Structure 1
Amino acid sequence: MTNTILGPGRRQVLAGAAGLGLTAALTRRPARAATPTINIGYFVETKPTMIAKSQGWFEDAAKAHINWVEVGSGAQINAGVVAGSLDIGIGIGSSPSAAGISQGIPYKVVAMLDNIGPAEEMTVRASDNIKSPADFKGKKIATPFGSTSHFRLIGFLKTNNLSLSEVTVLDLPPEQIVAAWKRGDIDAAYVWSPAKAELLADGGVVYKTYDVLDAKGYVIADLIVARNGFAHANPAAVTGILAAYGKALNLYQTQPDQAAAIVGPAAGVTAAVAAANLREYDFVPLKTQLTAQWLGTPGHPGAFAAELQHTAQFLVGQKSIRRSLGLAAYQKGIDTSYLEKAVA
């Protein structure tokens, strides 16, 4: 297993099995190189994906060597797929995925990780005493542009009649958001953990927005995408990767403390911070993803395609992409055939 850093930087628009003990879970099995190297773009996040990555479960299930490419935005995954340098994107947000499908990027959504909910949220300085939308006027807010957090931030401004001339919105990847916060260069940030957790630990407080924004249609999720050419040539590897994630999710759902003890160090935070972050997400089990509420099954698209279409329409309004497509395009942009096999 190798790690690569792709550019500076989650999701910008394109420019465990039950019964496992902690000792067993921490035992790393060697990867087997029976297929060509798989290039996977991933985010350092406090999620079950970090269990499967750190324990080598992805390699084992895919029977392949994996070149791990750390990214800071979905745009980097989109660009990597276009260039042919990325085969899989793990954790790409629904916003860049909607943009990618709209722009004809040759990949399919093959699974989802979570319904993000409150896990991505506005964090403000407690000392700034920001209590209402009007208090954001004149403030500097950072977020990774084109990300799910950016989607929510723009939704927050729009629903509260705040213009971009009244606030300064800065495009910064998570690690630069943390640095800017520590320097006092920004007043607020819309971002995910572990960056969010660092801000909260350094004088930040949550300014709750997600519930209102979800109700107004600004639903966001994290997904797994696979490049068409790679998936068609290596269906067993794609299925194995999804099965490995399902194993990690099962470990978290059945033994959350043990899971957090693995996720924390893998994400660079304590087990306690990881446990708190993990509780904020609505992780959707693989079998549930195959229901009409979510991704659906082959030939029977689920409701999530409409969320992608709505997101794309929003991005058009923001001039992030040129056009959105009909619902059928987003339904075709989801391929659950690998997920069905992983569940089976």
Structure 2
Amino acid sequence: MVEQSVIGRRRVMAGATGLALAAALPLRRARAATPTINIGYFVETKPTMIAKAQGWFEEMAAAKINWIEMGSGAQINAGMVGGSLDIGMGIGSSPSAAGISQGIPYKVIAMLDNIGPAEEMTVRASDNIKAPADFKGKKIATPFGSTSHFRLMGFLKTNGLSLSDVTVLDLPPEQIVAAWKRGDIDGAYVWSPAKAELLADGGAVYETYKELDARGYVIADLFVARNAFAKAHGMAVTGILKAYGKALDLYQSKPDEAAAIVGKAAGVSTEVAAANLKEYDFVPLREQLTSQWLGSPGKPGAFAAELEHTAEFLVGQKSIRRALKLPAYQKGIDTHYLEEAVA
């Protein structure tokens, strides 16, 4: 359920007269009023589902939220271009790098997670795929424009495989599951709960992430905010991040309780949710402000270089026309809302 908007915090100068205070009230209400926030999100086994299920996003943003389920980060980019989305929650680093490169008017405001092995190649156990050469002639599905697509193409490139060797299909997670059950595909590179469904239906993990991370194909899930919305409603943006921080705290302090909530919200068992959650590296909000990750306002962190590298790869794949220089990706990250959220 969503709740009515409430008046946000505002400092009043000490010693203000009653007349001056009364005159300030209409302005205070006007600045605090936040319209319904359009958030693009994914059904995933992550702490974001806790904050969504518990109503913490609405509570801490002090606004109604219109939740719009996404099938890929490319869809979030399209929504941002068209102005139909204000916040993208869980967009991958690959579509984010593409968005910044193409001048989409948003900024990365926080990380959701460092993905690691949580997105991985899943193949049919009966196909006995044990080596890269065994993928020749196979049909592998992934959501195009996603971090999984980035990783899949990296796997093909690093193993000398081309698109004439492997048929790569563009399918959103729910269609991947359906295609798998029909026998239309031999494997998929995707995240849970879709990945978990494939594994439960005769699938097996073909590990790629360690080699790909070592080769520079690091992937993460992020929060992005449309520039115009964030500028007009900064406190709501900060509230969104506070709500995620609260959910992450619950997962870290009470993982069993958190897994039960996530499982119910994502439509999987508590056991599956618990196993999926353990695969991600959920970087604490305060740690995201360090030089290792996003950095603090005015002091860009190392993650901008990951976005630059990702963009260069996307150019090579002809997914985008050009990559920008590192300062553009540094400017594409705005952590002052994150700093406020942890203050």
* Fold in common (TM above 0.5): yes
Output the CA distance in 1 between the equivalents of 2:109 and 2:63: 19
CA deviation profile, 1:282-340 (whole Å, cap 9, x unmatched) = 00000000000000001100000000000000000000000000100000000000000
Larger radius of gyration: 2
Q: Secondary structure at the match of 1:36?
A: coil
- How far off its partner does 1:55 sit? 0.7
User: Is 2:4 the partner of 1:32?
Assistant: yes
Match of 2:18 in 1: none
Match of 2:30 in 1: none
Output the CA distance in 2 between the equivalents of 1:232 and 1:204: 46
Q: Within 5 Å, give how 1:277-288 maps onto structure 2.
A: 277-288=276-287
* Percent pairwise identity: 83
CA deviation profile, 1:93-114 (whole Å, cap 9, x unmatched) = 0000000000000000000011
Output the CA distance in 2 between the equivalents of 1:247 and 1:32: 21
Match of 1:255 in 2: 254
Q: Within 5 Å, give how 1:106-185 maps onto structure 2.
A: 106-185=105-184
CA deviation profile, 1:122-159 (whole Å, cap 9, x unmatched) = 00000000000000000000000111000000000000
Match of 2:292 in 1: 293
Q: What code does the residue aligned with 1:32 have?
A: Q
Q: Give ranges in structure 1 of 5+ residues lacking alignment.
A: 2-29
Output the CA distance in 2 between the equivalents of 1:113 and 1:82: 22
CA deviation profile, 1:68-91 (whole Å, cap 9, x unmatched) = 000001111111111111000000
Output the CA distance in 1 between the equivalents of 2:173 and 2:284: 27
Match of 2:70 in 1: 71
How many pairs were matched up? 316
Match of 2:207 in 1: 208
Q: Give ranges in structure 2 of 5+ residues lacking alignment.
A: 7-33
Match of 1:41 in 2: 40
Asked if 1 retains the 8 angstrom alpha-carbon contact of 2:58 and 2:64, the reply is yes
CA deviation profile, 1:3-59 (whole Å, cap 9, x unmatched) = xxxxxxxxxxxxxxxxxxxxxxxxxxx622242100000000000000000110000
Q: Within 5 Å, give how 1:168-247 maps onto structure 2.
A: 168-247=167-246
Match of 2:22 in 1: none
Q: What code does the residue aligned with 2:3 have?
A: A
- How far off its partner does 1:234 sit? 0.3
Output the CA distance in 2 between the equivalents of 1:291 and 1:49: 22
Q: What is the TM-score with the length of structure 2 in the denominator?
A: 0.91
Q: Secondary structure at the match of 1:292?
A: coil
Q: Secondary structure at the match of 2:3?
A: coil
Q: Secondary structure at the match of 1:193?
A: coil
Output the CA distance in 1 between the equivalents of 2:119 and 2:233: 33
Q: What code does the residue aligned with 1:233 have?
A: A
Asked if 1 retains the 8 angstrom alpha-carbon contact of 2:100 and 2:332, the reply is yes
Match of 1:23 in 2: none
User: Is 2:97 the partner of 1:103?
Assistant: no
Output the CA distance in 1 between the equivalents of 2:231 and 2:207: 42
Match of 1:335 in 2: 334
Q: Secondary structure at the match of 1:75?
A: helix
Q: What code does the residue aligned with 2:75 have?
A: Q
Q: What code does the residue aligned with 1:72 have?
A: G
Output the CA distance in 2 between the equivalents of 1:32 and 1:94: 33
Output the CA distance in 1 between the equivalents of 2:220 and 2:4: 32
Q: What is the TM-score with the length of structure 1 in the denominator?
A: 0.91
Output the CA distance in 2 between the equivalents of 1:170 and 1:177: 9
Q: What code does the residue aligned with 2:111 have?
A: M
Output the CA distance in 1 between the equivalents of 2:3 and 2:276: 29
Q: What code does the residue aligned with 2:150 have?
A: F
Q: Secondary structure at the match of 1:99?
A: helix
Q: What code does the residue aligned with 1:75 have?
A: A
Q: Secondary structure at the match of 2:169?
A: strand
Output the CA distance in 1 between the equivalents of 2:238 and 2:4: 16
Q: Secondary structure at the match of 1:122?
A: strand
Match of 1:83 in 2: 82
Match of 2:314 in 1: 315
CA deviation profile, 1:234-264 (whole Å, cap 9, x unmatched) = 0100000000000000000110000000000
CA deviation profile, 1:150-172 (whole Å, cap 9, x unmatched) = 00000000000011101111000
Q: Secondary structure at the match of 1:218?
A: coil
